[in-house]
Amino acid sequence: MEEAINKPKDEVCRHARLVHGTCTNCGQFVDDWHGVAFDYVQEGLMLTRDEIARLKDTNIKKLFDEKKLQLVIDLDQTLLHSKSVEKLNLEEKYLENIQADSGGGGLFYKLETPERMVKLRPFVRNFLKEASTMFELYIYPMGSEFYGKRMAQLLDPQGNYFDNRVISKHDLIDKGKKTLDLVLGQESGIIILDDDETVWPDHKENLITIFPYSYFSEKRKRKSYSEMKKDESESYGALAFTIKVLRGIHGMFFNRNKSILPCNRDVRILMRILQSKVLKGCVIFFSGVDDDDECKECSDFVVKAKELGAECIDTLDSSSVTHVVSWTRTKTEGESDGWAKKEKKFLVNQRWI
Ligand SMILES: [Zn+2]
């Protein structure tokens, strides 16, 4: 130890990077060592905290020079929905006879071993193409490494977007939560897109919660797209809306207040500003909310609408109401839905928020 201290600094290897226990700098095998595994970057790679900080710093500087931020994207129900073939219900069985896509442009895939159907979300290819010009993209599913890589191939058959940046459950230290510690960037420059906010307890400020894409049927009362033989709108669906939000944040980050260096800006502040403006000026009446089973879910939507800047009221007043959110899509049309049509108000369902 003393000898190490007396040596000139550059001769002492700090073993900042190990691959399968061997230091990539000096070649020494180091067994008593603590660091963080970064298998998704390279199998067996471990980095010291200092080395991680250094890499995060270098990478973010490089990205800022290219006018890019980082976007961390969940897979399931964010970019796609998948279901095991054996779990298809009677109303979905027809899918087995539909020709799956094989090339890189389609949205419907059948995988073997294990047999699984995958439906990519409408607009996803345009979304990734545009997002990749503004962000370094990460895929961050809760599933296995195998699943994550397989889905990344479907989404990015040419390998243009993700490279090795697929972080899966295997990489997580605490298996129940996702963390930005594994992303090589600073939190001030990272946006997360996920349908499930509960897996990001420490990074809510970075999170854009997207409405979950349920193509296949789930244990819900509402009919799924597959059962109705429909799909989410390509032009007005969640991804088409999200790319506009991302474009807005990206533009604000790089074009506003150019006197402030990118490293001193913070995407979380911009997200908060934008969030409070999304529904500003909207006065919303929620229709069809008296169904007991859906009350909890509905009240969450009211909270969210308020966070987005909307005013929510509980009486139908033709002078102030701008939007009627129709809670139930599959039930017969309610009284207020008819009212909205008569008064020419925007009638939208809860997916709109
Ligand atoms: Zn070393």
112 and 230 housed in the same domain:
yes
50 and 73 housed in the same domain:
no
Its domain, for residue 312, covers 276-352
Q: How far is the CA of 24 from the centre of ligand 1 (A)?
A: 7
* CATH classification of the domain holding 107: 3.40.50.1000
Please determine, for residue 338, whether its predicted confidence score (pLDDT) is greater than 70: no
pLDDT at 339: 54
Q: How far is the CA of 183 from the centre of ligand 1 (A)?
A: 24
d(CA 36, CA 10): 23
Q: How far is the CA of 23 from the centre of ligand 1 (A)?
A: 5
Per-residue pLDDT tens over the stretch 235-262: 989 999 999 999 999 999 998 878 888 8
Q: How far is the CA of 11 from the centre of ligand 1 (A)?
A: 10
Higher pLDDT, 294 or 242: 242
Q: How far is the CA of 15 from the centre of ligand 1 (A)?
A: 4
Flag whether the ipTM exceeds 0.90.
yes
For the segment 252-276, the average pLDDT, to the nearest whole number, is 86
313 and 254 housed in the same domain:
no
227 and 344 housed in the same domain:
no
- Of 218, 237, 272, the residue at which a domain comes to its end is 272
Reported as a pLDDT band with limits 50, 70 and 90, residue 214 is very high
Q: How far is the CA of 39 from the centre of ligand 1 (A)?
A: 19
- Answer yes or no: are the C-beta atoms of 150 and 113 closer than 8 Å: no
Number of domain units in the chain: 3
Q: How far is the CA of 58 from the centre of ligand 1 (A)?
A: 21
287 and 265 housed in the same domain:
no
Q: How far is the CA of 344 from the centre of ligand 1 (A)?
A: 71
Q: How far is the CA of 41 from the centre of ligand 1 (A)?
A: 19
Q: How far is the CA of 43 from the centre of ligand 1 (A)?
A: 18
pLDDT at 2: 42
Beta strands in 85-172 (DSSP E): 108-111, 116-120, 135-139
pLDDT at 288: 63
CA angle 60–134–247, rounded 5-degree value: 125
204 and 228 housed in the same domain:
yes
141 and 44 housed in the same domain:
no
Share of the chain above pLDDT 70, in %: 82
Q: What's the whole-number average pLDDT of the chain?
A: 84
Q: Which long-range CB contacts under 8 A does 214-221 form with residues at least 24 apart?
A: 214/77, 214/81, 215/81, 215/119, 215/121, 216/81, 216/82, 216/83, 216/88, 216/92, 216/117, 216/119, 217/89, 217/91, 217/92, 221/293
For the segment 179-186, the average pLDDT, to the nearest whole number, is 95
Reported as a pLDDT band with limits 50, 70 and 90, residue 1 is very low
For the segment 299-318, the average pLDDT, to the nearest whole number, is 72
Reported as a pLDDT band with limits 50, 70 and 90, residue 141 is very high
Q: How far is the CA of 173 from the centre of ligand 1 (A)?
A: 24
Reported as a pLDDT band with limits 50, 70 and 90, residue 336 is low
d(CA 250, CA 286): 32
d(CA 196, CA 274): 20
Q: How far is the CA of 30 from the centre of ligand 1 (A)?
A: 8
Q: Among 249, 251, 319, 309, which residue's Cα sits nearest to residue 282?
A: 309
Q: How far is the CA of 12 from the centre of ligand 1 (A)?
A: 8
353 residue type, one letter:
I
Higher pLDDT, 139 or 292: 139
For the segment 320-346, the average pLDDT, to the nearest whole number, is 57
Higher pLDDT, 9 or 31: 31
Please determine, for residue 3, whether its predicted confidence score (pLDDT) is greater than 70: no
- Of 231, 253, 272, the residue at which a domain comes to its end is 272
pLDDT at 161: 96
Q: How far is the CA of 61 from the centre of ligand 1 (A)?
A: 26
Q: Is the link from the previous residue into 114 a cis peptide, with omega within 30 of 0?
A: yes
* CATH classification of the domain holding 334: 3.40.50.10190
Q: How far is the CA of 35 from the centre of ligand 1 (A)?
A: 13
113 and 27 housed in the same domain:
no
Reported as a pLDDT band with limits 50, 70 and 90, residue 331 is very low
d(CA 247, CA 243): 6
Q: How far is the CA of 185 from the centre of ligand 1 (A)?
A: 24
Please determine, for residue 275, whether its predicted confidence score (pLDDT) is greater than 90: no
> In 3-state terms, what secondary structure has residue 45?
strand
- Answer yes or no: are the C-beta atoms of 217 and 92 closer than 8 Å: yes
Burial of 306-315, coded b for 16+ CB within 10 Å and e otherwise, reads eebebebeee
127 and 233 housed in the same domain:
yes
For the segment 161-179, the average pLDDT, to the nearest whole number, is 90
d(CA 296, CA 118): 30
Q: How far is the CA of 56 from the centre of ligand 1 (A)?
A: 20
55 and 83 housed in the same domain:
no
Per-residue pLDDT tens over the stretch 57-99: 999 999 999 999 999 999 999 999 999 999 998 999 999 888 8
Share of the chain above pLDDT 90, in %: 54
Q: How far is the CA of 33 from the centre of ligand 1 (A)?
A: 11
Q: How far is the CA of 180 from the centre of ligand 1 (A)?
A: 27
Residues in the chain: 353
177 and 265 housed in the same domain:
yes
- Of 62, 95, 111, the residue at which a domain comes to its end is 62
d(CA 102, CA 123): 18
Higher pLDDT, 101 or 203: 203
Nearby residues of 258 by Cβ (< 8 Å), 6 or more positions away: none
343 and 246 housed in the same domain:
no
